Structure 1
Amino acid sequence: MKFNYKLQRLCGAYYGNPTTTDSYGSDGRGSGSNLLYTSNGNTLISAVSNRIQILELHSHTVRTLPVEGRSNIRCMALSPNDTILLAVDVQNYAMLVNIVRGVVLHRFKFKRKVRMASFSPCGKYIAVTHGKHIQIWLAPNHLRKEFAPLILHRTYTGQSSDVTRLEWSEDSSVIMAASRDCTARIWTVHTTYNYQPVTLSGHKTPIMAAFFAYAETGNAGTISSGNRRSRRKIDSCYTVSEDGALVTWKAQQLNSGDSKSETNEDIDLPPSADFDAQVNEAVDFFSGGAASAPSFLSKKGGAGDDFPSQGHELAHCQWSYQTRHYFNQEGSSVVAIAYNDRSQLLAVGFSSGIFGIYEMPSVSNIHTLSVGSNQLIQSCVLNQTGEWLALGCPKSQQLLVWEWRSETYIIKQRGHAYGMRCMAYSPDGVVICTGGEDGKLKLWNASSGFCYVTMEQSHQAAITSVCFANSSVVLSASLDGSVKAHDLHRYRTFKTFTSPTPVQFLSLAVDPSGEIVTAGSMDPFHIYAWNLQTGKLLDVYTGHTGPVSQLAFQSHGGTLASASWDGTVKLWDLYKGNVPTESLQHNSDVVCVACRPDGKEVCTGTIRGLLSFWDVESGKLKFEIDGRRDIVGGRKFNDRMASNNNASSRYFTSVCYSADGTCVLAGGNSKYVCIYEVSQQILLKKFQVTFNRSLDGVLDELNSKNMTEFGAVDDHTDSGDETTYNALRIPGAKRGDDGSRSSKVEVLTMQVAFSSTGREWAAVSGEGLHVYSLDDDMIFDPISLTEAITPAAVEAKLEAKSYSTALRMAIHLNEVGLIRQVLEEVPYASISSVGKTVGPEQLERLMNVVAKAMETSPHIQYYLQWCLELLRTHGLYMDKHRSSFMRAFRAMHKTVQTRYDELKTICNENRYTLDFIEDQSRLTMSTEDVHA
């Protein structure tokens, strides 16, 4: 069994920070990060907790980058070429990430609060808000690790309060900053002759965003053909304040005789030509030299460019107030702004959950919609074409991508309110069902990672357990005293099971036939059994003297194992009522139980951290595994002792067997999930669920400077005042304490489960659903690989029309492009014969390549034939070893279904055209028959 599991995706929330109990920061805004689109507009980047999610909007899939920040991410910035991502967390620690490879290039820390970061359009600079200041850094120009890849270029001052928003000009020569002091300020990136920084003031509340507006000009220069070419220069700018006021500022060109500042006419100046030469020489000196300066440093835009930079243009401009508009949203404030200059669209999000799209510069309203009552919109962003608007709501962990032209949602994802509590895999491993504290049931696609169904009115209280009766029926138990059965075809509840007296259900299990449903209660300590078809209560099993924490059925025989806090595990035979109940005694409370797939062994977990393995037939204890030292780790904020001395509070709360029964997966109230080998009784591997320091219990040792006689003090909370930045926030103190109270979410694992395929497992934690899988795409297969097998040899075999040999050699080389080339050169009539020569060891790899190639290939029928022949030839073998081929089969099935849906949509939209073509072809054929 392989154990190189890697985190594939984090489900449950695709925006916001579910690790914080308070949804709003010290500035009254949400706790989520900003959203980013890539340059093509088809990929959305979102931050969840301390991780980064990449959402592919066209293929409707999501993946999680294998990097983690120190704590919750506050802001992100993406380079123009989509290769480098800058992420800054709430503790102002930043990391540069190679987004293509998913590796961290550099980590460093800012000394002040960073609210926003932005790459320049040229990609050479990174601007960050640094408290009241702005810092511009030289961005790294390599995609490799360096000792100090960032070099500080310049720090800009002048604002009297924190800077909230940055805006670059198109040529990266001018930068504008909006501040909470109700002003916006404009600087040039490099020293520019005769330019003075401009301050725009006129708002009554803090400015949330500021944007440049451009005008087309076509008389700035010529090209070799003699035609005039146009350029865009800054014509005006917009500033939007928190109270919904939008002010337009106009940049007016001064005449040659005008001056922006008073000058003394009696001062003797050198001749104009000599004076300009001296000024340019001084500018080059203080900017690092003309050789090393960017193209916009000189008056011209660069070699062969006759256009002056935007900074030089603004040096001869005077800003003036032009117009003022108000967004009529009473009782709400502006919290998120996005502007697309190419399409001249302005998207505004309000604190009431309403967002509007306006056309500039007339500020005419195009659309106004609501994402939900009292759902504060933390972030909104428009893609490059201005067609897709992405919205993020941190309180509900909701992420929306809305296409405003067709008024449809591209993506609408929402996490569980108050956290996720339980989960279950479907029998085929395709669907994951989760239940949350909000009483809702969600179904997730295991291959794409998206939630496709949310059953809103499932329960009135928290869902404590879910399980699948079969691939189309899922059951859920809740603290509201009901067990419900849900139909996955019609997505509705068709059965509700209740007890004779009101109880709270803690556990749930269904027998292998899917006919008997059992649930354990908290008080009284009974187990109830119902018939799934009729909904009739069959029996009530008594005997426990404590809450029934978990139930598990054997794979055959009808034996039910129930774990209870009374320190016993009882084995019930539901089909034979006269058989006495067998009780397995423990020395402490039992919190979890699992049955081996063959039904001959039971694994139990107690609050002492022990995993006990029992023989079902004899009822005797086989052996025990002490896991206290394996899962110990992580000192909570209020713990009085170190983590290595606090092993008594660490134990397993969930355990499950692997598909072959050789290993067990165990997780509990710790940051670790452990995999044990049963026969050898050894720990095989230990996974740490998260490294997020915003959670409680992640660090093994706390900083000694924060330990006082009154307890630990958290010094990571942001301060709005620079003078108290390093001040410790002691509870009850007036200085540095705004009176708010918030607590950290503890890191723990509520439930773990293996997929039926054995290629992935999932764990439910405070951050959501962590899905770990085996990624074999990059595994090199050296079997039967000799020096003669090379890409040149494969091409030679293709020229000789030895397609079978070429395909096997390409699969051994494990290069996707080469395998695809061989596949597409195989004649259509030879697909069947070539497919039969593929061995079982190469079949899974070939299926993955076919599925991946079919996603983008226009040869749909050709690849459909490949899929058909592979299933016809190797279908029986795949059915016998379905656990090994389930992942590849799901990928192939998903691709075929996606292409089918695309063709179906196109044909439905062009139905009448297709009917006309068909009628014309029939008419042509009948005409030819008449002439014949």
Structure 2
Amino acid sequence: MKFNYKLHRLCGASYGTPAATGSSLSSSSKGSNIVFTSDGNSVLSPVGNRIQVLDLLHHSCRTLPVEARSNIRRIALSPNDNRLLIVVDVNSYAMLVNYHRGVILHRFKFKRPVREMRFSPDGGKFAVSYGKFVQVWLTPGIRREFAPMVLHRKYTGLVGDVTTLDWSSDSSVLLAGGKDCQARVWTVDTVKGYEPWTLIGHKKPLIGVHFEDMRKTLAERDQFFVGSGNTGSSLTGKLVGRCYTVSQDGVICTRECRKEEEEASTSDETKIGSEGLGEDAIDFFSGGGEAAAFSTAKQTGEGSIDQAHALVNARWGTTSRHYFNANSSTQDVVSTSYSSAHSLLVVGFSTGLFGLYELPSLSNIHTLSLSHSTIGTVSINPSAEWLAFGCPKTQQLLIWEWRSEQYILKQSGHAYGMRCLAYSPDGIVVCTGGEDGTVKLWNSQSGFCYVTLPKSHTAAITAVEFANPTVVLSSSLDGTVRAHDLHRYRNFKTYTSDIPCQFLSMAVDKSGEVVCAGSAEPFRICVWSVQTGRLTDVLTGHMGPVASLAFHPVRGSLFLAPELMTGMTFQASASWDGTIKVWDLYKSNSTPETFESGADVVCVAFRPDGSQVCSGTIRGLLRFWNVEDGSLVCEIDGQKDIKGGRKMNDRTTADNNASSRYFTSIAYSADGSCLLAGGNSKYVCIYEISQQILLKKFQISFNRSLDGVLDELHSKNLGDGGPLDDEHDSADESNNVTPHLPGAKRADDGSRKSRVEVLTMQVAFSPTGREWSTVSGEGLHVYSLDEDMIFDPMALTEAVTPSAVQANIRKGKYGMALLMSLHLNEFALVKSVIEDTPYESICTVVRSIGQEHLSQLIQFLSKCMEDSPHVEYYLQWCLELLQTHGLFMEKNRGKYLRSFRALFRVVQSRYVDLKAICDDNKYSLDFLNSQANLLLGRQE
């Protein structure tokens, strides 16, 4: 069994940070930004301290194999090539990541809060908001350097913290706005005669500043003269630049930069370089003659002066002012995004409404209410077809196509986190239950939730199980067990007890006919018939709440373990009996067999063959019992393996924290040789049972914004009254400040903040054995052995020719010949290689074929088999393909379904033809047989 599992994807959260019950951490936060790739087909969405990459064309999602120190605040992707990704967390720690390979190249830290970050259009620089300043850094190159981060310049002039910024289309001018209600325009490089302009006129902090495309502005410069009287500005001259500023109160101002006609004509006729700075000025501002001369005399590709030089001796003015909130004064502008190539502005409001406008006229194209919560971030793809919205409070991610007015993607996780999970029998579907009482179904291949079952529970869900591939059962603290039909997606049966109770656990037998649920108080187990819904039996005898249930996988016996779950509403610590009982459901008045564990039992699981059962106690012991004679086989002490993590309010160290030193969920591997175990800790362990050793330990999260990740707290976070709460998790501190009321000593609106605790609610192996999953406060972590990136060792070079294919066949290298022919993709060549392969070498050749060529080979086999007389020969190819790659194709059925259907259709048609021939020959053979018997009888 392989153990190199890696995090494949994080389901259950497509945007935002995990929120705990009653936490207001994300409710007032603006949230992190969403970024489209340069082709516009993929979206990068931060989730906690990880980044989700959602492929909108292939409808799949993956998680980048990098983690930030804390929750991510801003990300920026280099344009054009998407080579570099910069990630900054809430504590201003940054990572430089190779996006294509998912490798961290460099780590560094900004000493001041970073609220905005953006690459220049040419990709040569990137700008970050550095408190009240703006820093411009040079983009690192491809070469490996000791210090790749080089600061180009720091820009000042704003009084308040910078909240938004933008680049001009030629990357020569920088525009930034802040909390001081002002915007400022700088040139990136030193330009003689230019003085930075400050744009005023707003009463609220700026949410967005956007430059108009320079090429469009220069095309309009001869058509707009501000003396026409309808612009509301006293500026005269030719238009050389335009920008837009949007404030929180819903005001958008159009700013235009104009130059007098005489100055404009003079600057157009002046040769570039005649206005250069002196050597002293060049050395003072730029530190080098050549660099300064280049920055002073920079030109665009068309031979015209760049926008930085066009702004020299020009004046900025406000030409128009519009209001988004003309009919409502209760909603604020929270986020904006602008496509300069299409002149489209997207605005997200605090009421869950968004608007699409055309600039500069501000014509309303589209308005829609997406959610009841704040739209924290908006983004528009390069083609301006898709709009992406993120709601931090509800953790929703929505992709909207405004032309067709339909959702491309709509994802949201459980409101207060997941609690339990279950794999379908084929491993394709993962069912999860949450604290919000909803049941969701996830596609394990794409990572998306495709349905939320309606009429779910009114309280937290404690367990979910598949009765069969089309029926899902869920138990809840509301005292019901519900059965859901996966064909019609409805609740078709509800099972209740004769007295009110809360169900903590549930189990379904292998046939799917009996369902059992254990309650917290009274301490009993209810048994129902799945078909009729009748309560057939009630099992009593435990002195504590039933925390775990499991059916025997072969004989159908019920195995259960009692324990009082921490944090439940009804608790009776005196009722912990620490026993395990085995019941026979089909024998009335039978006494259950009892196993004494010596400590409270919290989890139990059967081995797949049913000969062994494992139980976990609060002392951190994993005990393995023989089911036949009830003897104790072995014990594994996992206290030291599972312990770890100190919470903010703990008065003890992690070594002395008893709550994180035992397992709460266990699961056997498919072969029964290993055990997967997780608990109230950041670790998940895999044990080898026969040798009683720890094989591997996984840490599910390194996010320091979660509680229990660090083993030791820093001394600066400790005060006289204990640990101090860290307030750096908010993305915008100004939104979290409660205004002081007159006459009140302190402001307290009654809201409280709580950190999400890192722990594993449940662990489970996939039926395929290629992956396992665990449920935590962040969502559903899927660890898989399969890699997304497939390595193809043979490229299509000059050496790959038909003659080289024939040469390999003559040498007996049939596998290499087949790979070359598949790269050349010629049907006649591939057919000749397949038919020249000896019958006994088919198995070896099939094993040499990688995953990247499976679909192509299946298609060629189906095409070759249609008119070939070698039926048995091609059937052997099909058999070897299924035996070698069948498990992988079953797991990735969506990728190979089309080619596999073509092969199945051909095989079925040949079977029908052969069956008809055999049926016709049967009577002829019977006649010949009878005639032969007559002749033999006469001779005798």
> C-alpha distance in 1, partners of 2:122/2:101?
22
Pair 827,893 (structure 1): closer, same or farther in 2 beyond 3 Å:
farther
1:891 to 2:892 alignment: yes
**Alpha carbons 1:794, 1:806 under 8 Å: kept:** no
1:661 to partner: Cα distance: 0.1
Q: Secondary structure at the match of 2:290?
A: coil
Q: How many residue pairs get matched? A: 848
2:207 aligned with 1:200, yes or no?
Answer: no
Q: Which residue of 2 aligns with 1:502?
A: 500
> How far apart are 1:827 and its partner, in Å?
4.8
Q: Structure 1 residues 19, 94: CA separation in 2 closer, same or farther (over 3 Å shift)?
A: farther
- Is the CA contact 1:178–1:210 (under 8 Å) kept in the aligned structure 2? yes
Q: Note the 1:872-891 alignment, pairs <5 A.
A: 873=876, 885-891=886-892
The structural deviation recorded for 1:181 is: 1.0
Question: What does the per-residue CA deviation read over 1:448-506, in whole Å, with 9 as the maximum and x for residues that have no partner?
Answer: 11111111421111111001111111111111111111111221111111111121111
**One-letter amino acid of the counterpart of residue 568, structure 1:** T
Structure 1 residues 299 and 272: CA distance shift in structure 2, 3 A? closer
Match of 1:434 in 2: 432
**Contact 2:660/2:679 (<8 A) preserved:** no
Question: Could you tell me which amino acid in structure 2 is paired with residue 415 of structure 1?
Answer: G
Q: Tell me which of 553, 557, 564 is aligned to 2:555.
A: 557
1:345 shift after superposition:
1.0
CA offsets 1:866-915 (integer angstroms, 9 cap, x no match):
9999995466667778xx733333324445369999xxxxxxxxxxxxxx
- Is 2:327 the partner of 1:320? no
Match of 1:168 in 2: 167
- The corresponding residue for 1:185 is 184
1: CA distance, partners of 2:405 / 2:74: 29
Q: In structure 2, what is the equivalent of residue 474 of structure 1?
A: 472
Counterpart-to-counterpart distance in 2, 1:89 and 1:415 = 22
Contact 1:749 1:765 in 2 (8 A): yes
In structure 2, the CA distance between the partners of 1:3 and 1:257, relative to structure 1 (3 Å rule), is closer
Whether the 8 Å contact between 2:705 and 2:729 is mirrored in structure 1 is no
- 1:798 is matched with 805
**How many angstroms apart in 1 are the aligned matches of 2:76 and 2:255?**
27
**Taking structure 1 as reference, are residues 272 and 312 closer, same or farther at Cα in structure 2, changes over 3 Å only?**
closer
1:845-856 to 2 correspondences below 5 Å:
846=849, 848-850=851-853
Equivalent in the alignment of 1:10: 10
| Percentage of identical aligned residues | 55
Distance 1:403 1:249 in 2: 30
Question: Paired residue for 1:538?
Answer: 536
Distance in 2, matches of 1:86 and 1:198, equals 29
Tell me the distance in 2 between the aligned counterparts of 1:872 and 1:804: 25
**Does 2:743 align with 1:743?**
no
Structure 1 residue identity aligned to 2:481: V
Deviation, 1:344, is 1.2
In structure 2, give the amino acid aligned to 1:199.
T
Is 1:153 aligned to 2:152, yes or no?
yes
Deviation at 1:277, TM superposition (A): 4.8
- The offset of 1:216, in angstroms, is 5.1
Q: Distance in 1 between matches of 2:710 and 2:298?
A: 55
Distance 1:400 1:19 in 2: 19
| Equivalent residue letter for 1:155 | K
Q: Aligned partners of 2:419 and 2:592: how far apart in 1?
A: 31
Paired with 2:83 and 2:420, the residues of 1 have a C-alpha distance of 37
Does residue 635 (structure 1) correspond to residue 634 (structure 2)? The answer is no
In 1, distance between residues paired with 2:23 and 2:467? 37
Does the Cα contact within 8 Å between 1:561 and 1:572 map onto a contact in 2? yes
**Which runs of 5 or more structure 1 residues have no equivalent in the other structure?**
221-231, 260-270, 724-732, 855-859, 902-932
> Which range is displaced more, 686-695 or 648-657?
648-657
Tell me the secondary structure at the aligned position of residue 716 of structure 2.
Answer: helix
Q: Provide, for residues 637-681 of structure 1, a one-character-per-residue CA deviation record: whole Å limited to 9, x for no partner.
A: 122222123356421000000000000000000000000000000
Q: Is the 8 A contact 1:17 1:31 kept in 2?
A: no
2: distance between equivalents of 1:235 and 1:867? 67
Deviation at 1:185, TM superposition (A): 0.8
RMSD: 3.6
Local SS of the residue matching 2:399: strand
Which of 413, 416, 428 aligns to 1:415? It is 413
Match in the other structure for 1:118: 118
Q: Which residue of 1 aligns with 2:65?
A: 66
Q: Distance in 1 between matches of 2:514 and 2:522?
A: 21
Q: 1:244 aligns with which of 232, 246, 250?
A: 250
> For the structure 1 residues 737 and 692, does the alpha-carbon distance in structure 2 shift closer, same or farther, using more than 3 Å as the test?
farther
In 2, the alpha carbon distance for the partners of 1:846 and 1:272 equals 64
Q: What TM-score comes out, normalization by structure 2 length?
A: 0.84
The residue number in structure 1 matching 2:346 is 347
Asked whether the 8 Å contact 1:333–1:350 carries over to 2, the reply is yes
**Alpha-carbon distance between aligned partners in 2 of 1:606 and 1:513, rounded to the nearest angstrom:** 30
> Using the alignment, how far apart are the partners of 1:388 and 1:376 within structure 2?
20
Deviations 1:146-187 (A, max 9, x none): 332111111111111111111001111100001111111110
Match of 2:241 in 1: 235
- Distance verdict in 2 for CA 1:515–1:49, change over 3 Å: same
CA distance in 2, matches of 1:2, 1:704: 41
Which residue identity is paired with 2:176?
A: A
Q: Does 1:708 align with 2:719?
A: yes
1:629-668 matches, cutoff 5 A: 629-647=640-658, 649-668=660-679
State the Cα deviation string for residues 243-266 of structure 1 (Å, max 9, x = none). 11111111112233699xxxxxxx
**In terms of mean alpha carbon deviation, does 830-839 or 638-647 score higher?**
830-839
Secondary structure, aligned partner of 2:892: helix
Change (3 A) 1:738 1:11: same
Quote the offset at 1:358 in angstroms: 1.1
Once the two structures are TM-superposed, the CA of residue 576 in structure 1 deviates from its matched residue by: 3.2
Say if 1:459 and 1:22 are closer, same or farther in 2 by CA, change over 3 A: closer
The residue number in structure 2 matching 1:769 is 780
Asked if 1:682 corresponds to 2:693, the answer is yes
Structure 2 match to 1:513: 511
Instruction: Confirm whether residue 599 of structure 1 aligns to residue 610 of structure 2.
Output: yes
8 Å CA contact 1:804, 1:837 repeated in 2? no
* Superposed displacement of residue 115, structure 1: 0.4
CA offsets per residue over residues 242-301 of structure 1, 9 Å max, x none? 111111111112233699xxxxxxxxxxx9999845547733662243534696x13341
CA contact (8 A) 1:77 1:117 kept: yes
Inter-CA distance 753–197: structure 2 relative to 1 (3 Å threshold): same
Aligned with 1:625: secondary structure?
A: strand
**What corresponds to 1:76 in structure 2?**
75
Larger radius of gyration: 2
Question: CA distance change for structure 1 residues 667 and 718 in 2, over 3 Å: closer, same or farther?
Answer: closer
2:482–2:494 Cα contact (<8 Å) kept: yes
Partners of 2:193 and 2:146 lie apart in 1 by: 38
Instruction: Assess, with a 3 A threshold, how the Cα gap between structure 1 residues 618 and 179 changes in structure 2: closer, same or farther.
Output: same
**Quick check: 1:49 aligned with 2:48?**
yes
The 5 A counterparts of 1:289-308 are: 289-292=288-291, 297-301=295-299, 306-308=303-305
**Counterpart residue number, 1:106:** 106
